[in-house]
Amino acid sequence: MDFSLSDEQRLIAATMRDFVEKELYPHEDEVERLDEVPSQLARTIRKKAIAAGLYAPNMPADLGGGGLDAVGVVLVELELGRASYALQMLVERPSNILQACQGEQRERYLLPAVRGERHDCVAMTEPEAGSDVRSRTTTALRDGHSYVVNGTKHFISHADVADFIILFAATGEEQTPRGPKKLITTLLVDSPSPGLTVRRGPPCVSNRGYHQCELVFSDCRVPVANRLGEEGRGFELLARWLGATRLQVAATSVGRARRVLEAAVQWAAGRRQFGQPIGRFQGVGFQLADRATELEAAEMLTLRAATKMDRGAMTDADAAMAKLYASEMLGRVTDSAIQIFGGMGLMTELPVERWWRDARVERIWDGTSEIQRQIIARSLLRPYGG
C-alpha cells in the first residue's frame, strides 16, 4: 500500500496546518478559560475557513464542499485534530448522513450546512439507551402529514448552537426470530421548534467550550417531508456513514497525539535532572519511543482504512480498528506526556493536562472501545458461524 502523498494532498494538509496554527491555536487558552467560544470569534473563524476554501471538506464538490476522497479527509482531520475541539469544530464538517437529503431537504438543510449558514447536531443517545442503540425509547408516531415526537435525548453535542437536529427515533417495532426489534427512523428537526426544549447538560471534563445538551421532545410535530430516507430504515442509513465518522475520530486522535508527542519530546530534550536531559534516561526515552511507534501504527491503520474506503472495500471492522487503536493510543500518549512533564504536566499553566482530559472522550463517543472490540470480534468469528 502506497501512502506517499501527491503534491495536491501535501498542499491541502499544509494549508490546513497553517490555518490551525494561525487561526485556532491563539484562541485555545481563552476558550478553555471561558468554557465558551465567544460568538463573534466563532463567526470570524467560520468566515475565514469558508474564504480559505477549507469549510465542509468532507462534502462533495458539486454541493460546494471540499470534494476530498477519504484519504484527503483523513489528511485534513490529522491537522484539525491538533487544535482544541471547540475551535476545530468551527471548520465544520456537516454530518455525512446529510448527503442522504432529497429534493427540498437539500435546499433547507444540506446546502445551507455546506455553506456554513446552518449547523446540525446528531441526536441518538438517551439516558437509558447509550451503546444499546436499539433500545431507544424516543418515539415518532405518524399523525397525518406529521410525526409526533416524544422522549428525551442526552449528551447531544453542540445542540445549543445547532439550527437543526438529525434525530433518531422509534417509529414502530418488527418481530424477528430474536424477539421484537425497534424500527428507527431519521428525522430533521428544526431548532427551535414547538414542543422541543434544548438545555445544557452537566459540564464535561473533556473539550471545554464544546457543550452537550439534553433535548426534551413533548408532542413535537415534525413534517413527514423532514424524514431522511425511508421510515424504519434509520439504522441502515446511519450504518452507511458511520465508518466515515469513526475514521474522523481516528484521524483527529492521531493529529492530537502528534502535537502532544512533539511537546513531550521537546520537554524531554530541554528539561535537565541529574545533570542531563531527562530524555536520556531510559525510563523517559523508552516511553517516547513506544508512544512514537504506536502513533505511526495508528496513522497507518487510519490511512489504510481510508484507502480501502476510497476503493469501496472498507469493512466495519477496518473503521472500528482505526477508531479503537487511535483513540486508545491517544490516551497513552497524553498519559505519558503528563508523566514526562512531571508536576508541570498537571498545572493548568501548560496545555498538557487539557490534552489529557480532552483525550478521554475519544474512547467513549461514536461507539465505546468495547463496542469497537465487539464489532472486530464479530467480524473475526462470522466466517466460522460464531
Ligand X SMILES: Cc1cc2nc3c(=O)[nH]c(=O)nc-3n(C[C@H](O)[C@H](O)[C@H](O)COP(=O)(O)OP(=O)(O)OC[C@H]3O[C@@H](n4cnc5c(N)ncnc54)[C@H](O)[C@@H]3O)c2cc1C
Residues that bind ligand X (CB under 6 A): 121-125, 130-131, 155-157, 204, 206, 212, 361, 364-365, 367-368, 370-371, 374
Residues facing residue 143 across a β-bridge: 146
Find the shortest distance in angstroms from Cβ 250 to ligand X: 15
Closer residue to ligand X (CB): 144 or 202: 202
End-to-end CA distance of the chain: 31
Closer residue to ligand X (CB): 90 or 122: 122
Closer residue to ligand X (CB): 151 or 367: 367
Find the shortest distance in angstroms from Cβ 359 to ligand X: 12
Helix axes 70-80, 282-310, angle to 10 degrees: 150
Spacing of C-alpha 192 from chain mean position: 24
CB atoms within 10 A of CB 117: 11
Q: Is the dihedral of CA 117, 80, 95, 63 positive or negative?
A: positive
Q: What angle do CA 236, 240, 242 make, to 5 degrees?
A: 105
Closer residue to ligand X (CB): 98 or 122: 122
Closer residue to ligand X (CB): 222 or 284: 222
Find the shortest distance in angstroms from Cβ 128 to ligand X: 8
100/238 Cα distance (integer angstroms): 10
Find the shortest distance in angstroms from Cβ 131 to ligand X: 3
Q: 3-state DSSP helix/strand/coil percent for the chain, to nearest 5? A: 55, 20, 25
Find the shortest distance in angstroms from Cβ 239 to ligand X: 15
State which amino acid sits at residue 278.
I
Strands 212-223 and 120-123: unpaired
Closer residue to ligand X (CB): 138 or 307: 138
Find the shortest distance in angstroms from Cβ 71 to ligand X: 26
Residue with the CB atom nearest ligand X in the bound state: 130
189/164 Cα distance (integer angstroms): 5
Closer residue to ligand X (CB): 72 or 151: 151
Query: For residue 192, is the peptide bond before it cis, meaning its omega torsion is within 30 degrees of 0?
Result: yes
CB atoms within 10 A of CB 46: 17
Closer residue to ligand X (CB): 47 or 378: 378
Spacing of C-alpha 44 from chain mean position: 22
230/227 Cα distance (integer angstroms): 7
Find the shortest distance in angstroms from Cβ 288 to ligand X: 29
Find the shortest distance in angstroms from Cβ 98 to ligand X: 14
Find the shortest distance in angstroms from Cβ 62 to ligand X: 28
Find the shortest distance in angstroms from Cβ 370 to ligand X: 3
In which residue are the cell numbers 443517545 written?
Answer: 125
CB atoms within 10 A of CB 9: 17
- For the chain, strand residue ranges (E) read 120-123, 139-143, 146-157, 164-176, 179-190, 196-200, 212-223, 227-228, 272-273, 276-277
Question: What 3-state DSSP class applies to 194?
Answer: coil
Closer residue to ligand X (CB): 171 or 212: 212
In which residue are the cell numbers 490529522 written?
Answer: 78
Closer residue to ligand X (CB): 8 or 132: 132
Residue 137, judged by CB atoms within 10 A of its CB (0-12, 13-18, 19+), counts as: middle
